[in-house]
């Protein structure tokens, strides 16, 4: 954990000056992945000490963190949010639902994975992934950010190593 933390702060400094701004989008999750993402901001994990912040507007964001498997009723909102994020668009899929659809998969109301519509930089598996795993996923995405060009030429993303649960 400490190793991840050190790497994370130094990469954020190198790549983004002093701060990384993240916009979270719930594309149809069960609320479990939200809770763990919120936990990152509690006094135990306190990700703000690395210069990471969750922002209200996608236009201010360097990274999109998506939870849930993209419901039909949210697809349009997710598309609009994605379009509003500046290039290069880093997208981290949090949880089994966002990665591959999870238990719900593809239904009349659910697409079953964010990569059905957008290229994903890093997949963080788990149901939900623990806060530490989300943090590691964010680090992997930053380390790959140089691979992203504007506009992005999509290629294979990879999954983080700490799949939990």
Partner 1 sequence: MKTTRVIVGPQELLNACCTVINDHGRFITMVASDECGMGIDRFVVRYIFAHDGKSMLTVVESVVPESDPTYPSVSSMIPAASWAEREAHDLFGIFPIGHPDLRPLVLHEHWPEGVYPLRKDYALTEKQEQDFSRSWSYPKVEGEGVFEVPVGPIHAGVIEPGHFRFQVMGDSVLHLEAKLFYTHRGIEKRSEGMPVEKGLYLAERICGVCSVSHALSYVQAIENISGTEVPERATFLRVLFAEMERLYNHVGDIGNMCAGIGYAYGINHGARLKEQLMQMNDFVIGHRFLRGSIALGGITENITEEKLMFIEVTLQQVQKDLNEIVGQILSHDTVVNRFSNAGVLSEQIARELFTVGPTARASNYDVDVRRDLPYAAYSQLAFDVPTLTQGDVLARFKQRFLEARQSFQIIEQVIKNMPKGDICVPIGDLHPYSFGIGITESPRGENLHFVMTGENNTIYRYRVRSAPYANWPAVPLCVPGNIIPDFPLINKSFELCYACCDR
**Which spans of this chain sit near ligand SF4 (rule: CB under 6 A)?**
29-30, 32-33, 67-68, 95-97, 102, 127-128
Q: Which letter does DSSP use for residue 130 in this model?
A: P
Among 11, 21, 24, 89, contact with partner 1 (rule: CB under 8 A): 24
Residues 98-127, interacting with partner 1 (CB under 8 A): 102-110, 127
**How far apart are CB 159 and ligand SF4 at their closest, in Å?**
14
Among 28, 113, 125, 137, contact with partner 1 (rule: CB under 8 A): 28
Both structure tokens of 60:
């201010």
66 with 74: CB under 8 angstroms? no
Closer to ligand SF4 by CB, 115 or 148: give it.
115
1 makes contact with partner 1 (CB under 8 A): no
CA dist., res. 138 & res. 123, Å (int): 10
Residues 38-67, interacting with partner 1 (CB under 8 A): 38-39, 41-44, 54, 56
Buried b (16+ CB within 10 A) or exposed e, 33-65: bbebbebbeeeebebeebbbebeeebeebbbbb
162 makes contact with partner 1 (CB under 8 A): no
Q: Look at residues 154, 143, 148 and name the one whose alpha carbon lies nearest to residue 12.
A: 143
Among 1, 86, 117, 165, contact with partner 1 (rule: CB under 8 A): 165
Q: Which distant-in-sequence residues (6+ apart) come within 8 Å of 12 by Cβ?
A: 18, 19, 20, 50, 51, 52, 142
The residue ranges that bind partner 1 (CB under 8 A) are: 24-26, 28-39, 41-44, 54, 56, 68-69, 71-77, 81, 102-110, 127-128, 130, 165
């Amino acid at each position: 954990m400490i190793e991840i933390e050190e790497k994370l702060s130094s990469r954020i400094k190198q790549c983004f000056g002093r701060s990384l701004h993240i916009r979270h989008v719930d594309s149809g999750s069960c609320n479990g992945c939200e809770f763990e993402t919120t936990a990152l901001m509690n006094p135990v994990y306190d990700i703000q000490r690395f210069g990471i912040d969750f922002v209200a507007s996608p236009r201010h964001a360097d990274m999109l963190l998506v939870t849930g498997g993209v419901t039909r009723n949210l697809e349009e909102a997710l598309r609009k949010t994605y379009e509003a994020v500046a290039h290069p668009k880093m997208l981290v899929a949090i949880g089994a639902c966002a990665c591959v659809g999870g238990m719900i998969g593809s239904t009349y109301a659910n697409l079953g994975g964010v990569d059905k519509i957008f290229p994903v930089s890093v997949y963080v598996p788990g149901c939900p992934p623990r806060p530490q795993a989300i943090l590691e996923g964010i680090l992997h995405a930053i380390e790959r950010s140089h691979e992203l060009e504007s506009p992005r030429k999509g290629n294979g993303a990879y999954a983080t190593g700490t799949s939990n649960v």
